[in-house]
Amino acid sequence: MSTTVPATGATTTPAHAKPKRARAQLSEGAKADRRLAFWLCAPAVLVMIAVTGYPLIYAVILSLERYNLELPQDTKFIGFANYGAVLTSQYWWQALWVTLIITAISVGITFVLGMLLAEVLHRTVFFRGGVRTISLIPYGIVTVAAAYSWQFAWTPNEGYLSAAFNNGAPLTNQVEAIAVIIVAEIWKTTPFMGLLLLAGLSLVPDDLLRAARVDGATPWQAFTRITLPLMKPAILVALLFRTLDSFRIFDNIFILTSGNNGTASVSTLGYDNLFNALNLGIGSTIAILIFICVAIIAVIFILGFGTAAPGSDAGKR
Amino acid sequence: MAALTVRQRTGWTTANLVVVILALIPVLWLVSLSLKTPAAVTDPSIWPSQWTWGNYSGILQSSQFLRPLVNSIGIGLISTAVSVALASMAAYAIARLSFPGKSVLIGLALLIAMFPLIALVTPMFTIERALGLFNTWFGLIIPYVAFGLPLGIYTLSAFFREIPWELEKAAKMDGATPFQAFTMVIAPLAAPGMVTTAILVFLACWNDFLLAISFTSTISSRTAPAAMEYFSGGSVFTTPTGPISAAAVVITIPIIIFVLFFQRRIVAGLTSGAVKG
Task: Residue B243: name the closest of B258, B224, B270 by CA.
Answer: B224
Which residues of chain A make contact with B94, given a CB cutoff of 8 A?
A: 41
Residue B133 maps to a domain: yes
Instruction: Kindly state whether B22 is in contact with chain A, defined as any CB-CB distance less than 8 angstroms.
Output: yes
Provide the shortest C-alpha distance from residue A239 to chain B (in Å).
11
With H, G, I as helix, E, B as strand and everything else as coil, classify residue B71: helix
In sequence order, what are the beta bridge partners of A68? A279
Distance CA A45, CA B106 (A): 10
| Cβ count within 10 A of residue B2 | 4
Asked if B25 and B88 sit in the same domain, the reply is: no
Instruction: Kindly state whether A144 is in contact with chain B, defined as any CB-CB distance less than 8 angstroms.
Output: yes
CA torsion angle B116 A67 A278 B120 (round to 10): -20
Distance CA B202, CA B141 (A): 12
Asked if B48 and B75 sit in the same domain, the reply is: no
Residue A13 maps to a domain: no
| CATH code of the domain containing B182 | 1.10.3720.10
- Which of A120, A136, A290 is closest, CB to CB, to B259? A136
Asked if B70 and B48 sit in the same domain, the reply is: no
Asked if A159 and A55 sit in the same domain, the reply is: no
Residue A98 maps to a domain: yes
Instruction: Kindly state whether A101 is in contact with chain B, defined as any CB-CB distance less than 8 angstroms.
Output: no
Q: Which conformational region is residue A190 in: left (phi greater than 0), alpha (psi within -120 to 50 degrees), or beta?
A: alpha
Task: Using the Cα atoms of residue A271, residue A272, residue A275 and residue A281 in order, give the sign of their dihedral.
Answer: negative
Asked if B182 and B265 sit in the same domain, the reply is: yes
The CA–CA distances, whole Å, from A17 to A14, A74, B92, B254 equal: 5, 53, 21, 47
| Cβ count within 10 A of residue A105 | 17
Distance CA B136, CA B44 (A): 40
What is the count of structural domains for chain A?
2
Asked if B84 and B33 sit in the same domain, the reply is: no
- Which of A4, A133, A283 is closest, CB to CB, to B260? A133
| CATH code of the domain containing A189 | 1.10.3720.10
Asked if A118 and A141 sit in the same domain, the reply is: yes
Asked if B159 and B230 sit in the same domain, the reply is: yes
| Cβ count within 10 A of residue B178 | 20
- Which of A3, A30, A280 is closest, CB to CB, to B122? A280
Asked if A197 and A298 sit in the same domain, the reply is: yes
pTM for this prediction: 0.85
Asked if A67 and A88 sit in the same domain, the reply is: no
Q: What ipTM was reported for this prediction?
A: 0.87
Range of the domain at A34: 26-82
What is the count of structural domains for chain B?
2
Residue A266 maps to a domain: yes
Distance CA A106, CA B95 (A): 35
Range of the domain at B79: 62-275
Instruction: Kindly state whether B218 is in contact with chain A, defined as any CB-CB distance less than 8 angstroms.
Output: no
Q: Residue-wise pLDDT tens for chain A (317 aa)?
A: 333 333 333 344 444 444 444 455 677 778 888 888 889 999 999 999 888 888 889 889 988 988 887 777 777 788 888 898 889 889 999 999 999 999 999 999 999 999 999 888 887 767 777 788 888 889 889 999 999 999 999 988 888 888 888 877 788 888 999 999 999 999 999 998 988 888 888 888 888 888 888 888 888 888 888 888 888 888 888 888 889 889 999 999 999 998 888 899 999 999 988 888 888 888 889 989 998 998 898 888 878 765 444 333 333 33
Across the interface, do A145 and B251 touch by the CB < 8 Å criterion? yes
Residue B57 maps to a domain: no
Distance CA B46, CA B85 (A): 44
Asked if B48 and B66 sit in the same domain, the reply is: no
Element (H, E) at A65: strand A65-66
Per residue in B165-193, pLDDT (tens digit) is 788 788 888 888 888 887 888 778 878 88
With H, G, I as helix, E, B as strand and everything else as coil, classify residue A77: strand
Asked if A32 and A108 sit in the same domain, the reply is: no
Residue B27 maps to a domain: yes
Instruction: Kindly state whether B228 is in contact with chain A, defined as any CB-CB distance less than 8 angstroms.
Output: yes
